[in-house]
Structure 1
Amino acid sequence: MTTTPANFDAVMRHFVESAEPSRTPAADMADLAGVIRTLLGLNARRGTRVRLGGSLFDVVITGSGLLAHTAVACLDERQYGCGPVIEDPGPGWLYWLVPPGSAERWEPHEHAVCLGGPHTITLPPLHRTVPPGPYWLRPLASDRLVPTTPLRQVLAQYRPRPARPAPHSALAGQLGTAP
C-alpha cells in the first residue's frame, strides 16, 4: 500500500493513536537537559561539573608521571587510542574515564581507585590539552571510553605512583575511612 498526500494524515494519526497511551517522557530522559548543558559547557570553553555513574562514565584515578604516561601509550598501541584521560598536575593524578557501572565491579587495586555515583568530576574544556590546570591528556570522544580490563593490566604492569598521597589515602582522608 502506498501513502498518498490525501491519506498521509490518516496514517500518521493511526500510528499516534495506536502507540502506547502514555505521553510522558521516559524516565531516562529526566537527565537529558543536564547532559546537554554539560556538553554545551565543554564546548563553550569552560570546565563543567558532571555526576559520575548513570549513563555517562565512571572514573579511575591513578598517579601521574612517567609510568602513568607509559601506561597511556601502551593502551594507545593496544587499542588504536587509549580513550579519554584527564591529567591534573596539581595533585599529580590521572583521571581515566571508564564505562558506567565500572565502580560497582572494580576490585581493589594497589595503584588505582574507581569512583561512580554519587561522586562528581569537573571536566576541563574540550580545547584544553596542556596545563595550567587539569587538561585532556587524551581527548574525550563520543565513541570511546577506557576499557577497565586492559587498564587494570597496564596499571599492574607499570605501577604508576603519585608524587603525593595515593588516591586511596586522599579519598580515605576525605571520607573518614581507612584505605
Structure 2
Amino acid sequence: MTVEPLVDPSGAEVMASLVARSGPGQEPAADMEDLAEALRALLGVEAGCDTRVRLGGNLFDVVITGSGAQAYAVVAAMDKIQGGCGPVIEDPANGWLYWLVPPGSTARWEPHPYAVCLGAPHLITLPPLERTAPPGPYWLRPSASDRLVPAGPLWGLLAQLRPDPTPHELLAAQLGTHR
C-alpha cells in the first residue's frame, strides 16, 4: 500500500479550485442588467434629466388616459383611496395622463374604452422629479418610492368617470399599430 504525502495547497490553489467549481465566471445574473438599467434611469430622473425607461420588468407599467376634467376627478378619487394618489405624469402636448401602475398590470388589464395599459417592450420618458408644471410632461402627482397607482381601482374609476379624449387612435398611430 502506497501512501501519498499530505500537501497543503496554497491559498491561490484553494481560490482557483473554488472559482472553477462555482460555475460560469464573470457573468452577471440575468436580472442584474435590468436592475442596473433601472437604477441609472431613476438616478437620471432624480438628477433633473428627462429619462427614457423601459416599461414592465420590476418597475412599473403605464395606463394612458385623456387628461380632461374627468381624469382630474379620477386623480382626486385616487387621492382619497390611496391617501395621496400614486405617480401620475401629465403630457399637455398629447392631452394625456400617464398613470404608473404595478409591473405586470398589462397582463391583467381588460380592454378599456377610456384607457390603454402598456408594459414591455414599450418605453416612457420620465420628467425630472422637480418638474411639477409645464412646459413639457410633468409630475401631476409626484413619484413616491412607496406606491404606484393600483390598477384595479383605477380601471373601475376610469369606467365610471370616462375621461376624454380616449388615447386609442392617436396611440395606435404613434406605435404604428392598428385597432
Band of TM-score, shorter chain:
0.7 to 0.9
Please say if 1:167 is aligned against 2:170: no
Q: For structure 1, list consecutive stretches of 5 or more residues without a partner in the other structure.
A: 1-16
Aligned residues: 159
Q: TM-score, normalised by structure 1?
A: 0.83
Match of 2:160 among 147, 157, 160: 157
Residue 82 of structure 1, CA deviation: 1.3
Deviations 1:127-158 (A, max 9, x none): 00111110000111111011111001110111
SS of equivalent to 2:44: helix
5 Å matches for 1:1-179?
21-22=22-23, 24-162=27-165, 166-179=166-179
Q: For structure 2, list consecutive stretches of 5 or more residues without a partner in the other structure.
A: 1-17
Residue 98 of structure 1, CA deviation: 0.4
Distance 1:26 1:177, change over 3 A: closer
The aligned counterpart of 2:5 is none
Is the 8 Å Cα contact of residues 59 and 103 (structure 2) preserved in structure 1? yes
Q: TM-score, normalised by structure 2?
A: 0.83
Quick one: percent identity of the two aligned structures? Answer: 68
SS of equivalent to 1:94: strand
Poorly superposed stretches of 4+, deviation over 6 Å: none
CA RMSD of aligned residues (A): 1.8
